[in-house]
Structure 1
Amino acid sequence: MDLDIVALSRLQFALTALYHFLFVPLTIGLAVIVAIMETVYVMTGRTIWRDMTKFWGLLFGINFAMGVATGVVMEFQFGMNWSYYSHYVGDVFGAPLAIEGLMAFFLEATFVGLFFFGWDKLSKVGHLITTWAVAIGSNFSALWILIANGWMQNPVGAAFNPKTMRMEVTDFFAVLTNPVAQAKFVHTVSAGYTVAAVFVLGVSAWYVLRGRHLQLAKRSMTVAASFGLAASLSVVVLGDESGYLSTEHQKMKLAAVEAMWKTEPAPAAFTAFGFPDKEARETHFAIHIPAVMGLIGTRSLTTEIPGIDDLVHRAELNIRVGISAYDALQKIREAGSDAAVPDSARKIFEDNGHALGYALLLKRYVDDPRKATPDQVAQAALDTIPPVAPLYWTFRVMVGLGMFFILLTATFFVLSARRKLDAHPWLLKLAVLAIPLPWIAAECGWIVAEVGRQPWVIEGVLPTAVAVSNLGAGTVLLTIAGFTLIYSVLFVIEMKLMLKSIRKGPEAHPVPPPATYRAEADPELAALPHAPLAAAD
């Protein structure tokens, strides 16, 4: 196996995935915020809320278009760069992607057009239904994508078929209700809501600092602070659920995130700070908080969390079991027909087939895992350790930023309740400076989820190193350069459109003076058919 191709293919997918994920959270969150604003408009009839819906809806539309353009590329990569992956698990992985395209993407894309061009053609309630359909569609899109991704983290409801050499669905309901997928969905969606809330809060604070569009900005800040506080609190709670599920389904990821080299007595401590050293198998200058990791990871004070060294030993045992499964699989395939399959081979595969993926880890070093040396087995077991230091630090950056978002939104929530949103200019400047931080947190979360799964593309089933297409290094390098160039151009276009729209601000609608003022100032003017002030506000 050409490991350069594996590294290049992973790099290409990482670049396109991380770039695409710049747009996903804002799309998910902003769609809901816009729907909330239009709901208030329909309930109150106050046009300021319609102006807010149109303005933030325009920014949503720009972001949505870029998200669609970059998302399509990722789906093509499964077939181009990861052809064996597509063959091996396409029966399972393809179904959620297909449903996402048919149910969610078409729903969202269809109603986006009605949202922008239906203001004068639909009733207020009809347009509101359209807006909520866009919001629901964006969340459904995330649901199906994360069901597929959650299955990669915890492959349930499927079994390996020796005849077809593929994973095949045995229980689609189990795939849909996969606890890892559900936890990832609610956690990711809450993170998207936080991204959108901080974005709206920061842009609105910028308007307040410059004394522009104050009515729109202050109302937007109130919505963003309330929505963002609820979302950021949800991210923490749901992130705790993800940590608990990792203890059950992805023990090595949890141990790497915590840089827990040795199994500690229960309940395990949480390492608040330290410097992981993979070579020395220790974390230097570690600051521990007693019992916290045990409570997060096991919800108990008596259950151990295995350390990295223990998990490597378990992986080595699984590799040896997997070799026997691989040997039985070869005998089954050589038999040609079910009747000719030796009973012993069938029995061995039924008992040990769950560890077949561990035998495939040896493909990096030897074509036939049955011929692997003890040193190669030991090295393959060590390969199950993901990059510890990057996981350790990205997780802590993500958690630290999450706590900051809670404080930020809570502060503006209190200021909004007291009607003092513009009382502290330094807080408004802080909100503006905080705009990029949710994206950093979201990207860190994605890195923890995906890098933490390595060396598996399907946890415990299919190693990343054997899932790639048989491509030349030059081909992959060329496509990386092409994607980098195209995505850089798209990023510049996106930023220019967003900044231009923000600088321009919402459409100006002149507000007529109050009826009482008109009557006192000019009786003839008072008789003209002006709209009431409440409708204009």
Structure 2
Amino acid sequence: MIDQTVVELSRLQFALTAMYHFLFVPLTLGLSFMIAIMESVYVMTGKEVWRRMTLFWGVLFGINFAMGVGTGIVMEFQFGMNWSYYSHYVGDIFGAPLAIEGLMAFFLEATFIGLFFFGWNRLSKVQHLTVTWLMALGTNLSALWILIANGWMQYPVGAVFNPDTMRMEVVDFAAVLLNPVAQAKFVHTVSAGYVTGAMFVMSISAFYLLRGKHREMARRSFAVAAAFGLLASISVAVLGDESGYAAAENQKMKLAAIEGMWQTEEAPAAFTAFGIPNQAEQRNDYAVHIPYVMGLIGTRSLDTQIPGILELVARAEERIQTGQIAYAALERIKANKDDAEARAVFDRHWQDLGHALLLKRYRDDIENATVEQIAQAAVDTVPMVGPLFWTFRIMVAIGFYLIGFFALAFWYSCKDSFESKTTFLKIALFSLPLPWIAIECGWFIAEYGRQPWAVDGVLPTFYAASGLALYEILASLIGFVLIYTVLMVIEIKLMLKAIGKGPEQVLPALQASMNVPANAASKS
């Protein structure tokens, strides 16, 4: 039995490193495509200002990408250090997309980034533009594979438990790749990254316009960001609805917790616009409901019920009892691998083995668990409702704000009147953190809402952790916090320095470092 304090500290460490790493990923996703769009305009028009824009935003992209890669490496090592049993138990499935993601990030993506910076005087305009688009595609493909891996943790498909190796093993890799939860997460996540990139470009452009600096570049960048951001913010809302539908289909407890839905309601279920979740009494205080909305979002119908938390707890209790049968059969197989009867019993019930493992928190001989222990293990399948309930609503509120914000920015851009809208430019500047806040909220919902599972329905989180000593996890946690704080300071200083200097100073220095003549990039 692993010390629960070690488990919680391991969770905290991974959460800190993951959420810190994802400060950089969405900006990389968004900026890569915006840079490709800007260079496309340069190739089509031949106007030098678009090349300068491509290079300037490319510098900021490069700084951000380097920090993202550095922080991402640490996360992969943690699977072996802090979550060794997880790596043993499901590494056969999780390791494949993770390895492909590494190849995408460190070879394909990084190679094209190198060509982007050092290929201006070695490639034609069209060749370099091709490289830039491949860089953007490589960046997004890198995100695809890590989200396939994460999607499998949310909804494990295409794999079975092998009683001979005591591990989950792949039986249908296509099912892993086409996992509906993973696909919904991918399109929703990359769209959020595009919004982040658009807000970043727009906020910096607004800063320049307020200062009256670099107007030619800032005006064009603002216009590109307004159009790109409007499309991306609308797509986030549409694809977020798809994620909600996928959760209703495959992660019912998460959806019920997000909505604070304690009881199963008559179809179509109402949406709780406001309320104070009271987990102790299993109800929402001061709740304000909007009829039909949750049923339409979650089931896209008027006659399909969404099960409430208490009903799902009852289902979990049944699965725990069935899982005990699978666990007892597994013990017989371990004692005698030729026990055909035990294998037949295990094959019928192995899908519920993970629920039986929830009892390991209370006793080792789980086949002898008491009724009270089974009931408590079933209650453990309910995540903390309050944090999920409010985090989701913060994320949604920011999402609707960003749609309105980019719609207004696009209108001003079409009217070519945004330079005189100083109040709006100030709002654009101070809205810079909002996409990051919404994205971090989204990841909190995805990961915290999956608890108590490391792999939903397959492996409990407490069972996946390494047997580290308390001082070991504390030392590494403190070390990561210190190192990441230093990296954050370096990142902010580098970004602010480049933004403060502007393209007139940054680009000559960049061209000198790459040994590129000032006019070399203008050659076809």
* TM-score interval, smaller chain: over 0.9
Counterpart position of 1:463: 460
Structure 1 residue 237 and structure 2 residue 234: aligned?
A: no
Once the two structures are superposed, the pairs formed by residues 52-67 of structure 1 within 5 Å of their partners are 52-67=53-68
Which of 161-170 and 130-139 deviates more? 130-139
Q: Distance in 1 between matches of 2:343 and 2:168?
A: 18
Is the CA contact 1:105–1:137 (under 8 Å) kept in the aligned structure 2?
no
Which of 216-225 and 366-375 deviates more? 366-375
Aligned-pair CA distance for 1:131? 1.1
Which of 87-96 and 119-128 deviates more? 119-128
Once the two structures are superposed, the pairs formed by residues 40-189 of structure 1 within 5 Å of their partners are 40-189=41-190
Structure 1 residue 226 and structure 2 residue 227: aligned?
A: yes
Once the two structures are superposed, the pairs formed by residues 445-460 of structure 1 within 5 Å of their partners are 445-460=442-457
Aligned-pair CA distance for 1:229? 0.5
Aligned-pair CA distance for 1:371? 2.0
Is the CA contact 1:105–1:138 (under 8 Å) kept in the aligned structure 2?
no
Once the two structures are superposed, the pairs formed by residues 112-511 of structure 1 within 5 Å of their partners are 112-335=113-336, 337=337, 340-343=338-341, 345-507=342-504
CA deviation vs aligned residue, 1:320-365 (integer Å, no higher than 9, x gap): 0100110011111110x3xx3142x222211111100000001111
Q: Which amino acid aligns with 2:45?
A: T
Aligned-pair CA distance for 1:10? 0.3
Q: Distance in 2 between matches of 1:395 and 1:260?
A: 14
Q: Which amino acid aligns with 1:432?
A: L
CA deviation vs aligned residue, 1:362-410 (integer Å, no higher than 9, x gap): 1111012112111111111010001111101110010000001101111
Q: Give the share of equivalent positions with the same residue, in percent.
A: 64
Q: Distance in 2 between matches of 1:136 and 1:105?
A: 14
Counterpart position of 1:22: 23
Instruction: Name the CA shift for 1:363/1:208 in 2 (closer, same or farther; >3 Å).
Output: same
CA deviation vs aligned residue, 1:475-531 (integer Å, no higher than 9, x gap): 000000000000000000000000111111112699xxxxxxxxxxxxxxxxxxxx9
Q: What SS is found at the alignment partner of 2:190? A: helix
Is the CA contact 1:62–1:494 (under 8 Å) kept in the aligned structure 2?
yes
Runs of 4+ that moved beyond 3 A: none
Instruction: Name the CA shift for 1:47/1:508 in 2 (closer, same or farther; >3 Å).
Output: farther
Q: What SS is found at the alignment partner of 1:507? A: helix
Q: Distance in 2 between matches of 1:60 and 1:275?
A: 41
Which of 420-429 and 433-442 deviates more? 420-429
Is the CA contact 2:56–2:506 (under 8 Å) kept in the aligned structure 1?
no
Is the CA contact 1:51–1:507 (under 8 Å) kept in the aligned structure 2?
no
Q: What SS is found at the alignment partner of 2:503? A: coil
Looking at CA atoms only, which structure, 1 or 2, has the larger radius of gyration? 1
Which of 377-386 and 116-125 deviates more? 116-125
Aligned-pair CA distance for 1:13? 0.2
Counterpart position of 2:510: none
Q: Distance in 1 between matches of 2:254 and 2:117?
A: 44
Structure 2: tracts of 5 or more residues without a match: 508-518
Structure 1: tracts of 5 or more residues without a match: 511-530
Aligned-pair CA distance for 1:132? 1.1
Q: Which amino acid aligns with 2:409?
A: F
Q: Which amino acid aligns with 1:235?
A: V
Counterpart position of 1:522: none
TM-score by length of 1: 0.93
Q: Which amino acid aligns with 2:397?
A: G
CA deviation vs aligned residue, 1:249-292 (integer Å, no higher than 9, x gap): 10000000000010010000001111111001111111111000
**Alignment: residue pair count:** 509
Q: Which amino acid aligns with 1:361?
A: L
Aligned-pair CA distance for 1:423? 2.5
Q: Distance in 2 between matches of 1:180 and 1:509?
A: 42
Counterpart position of 2:516: none
CA deviation vs aligned residue, 1:284-322 (integer Å, no higher than 9, x gap): 111111000000000000000001111111101110010
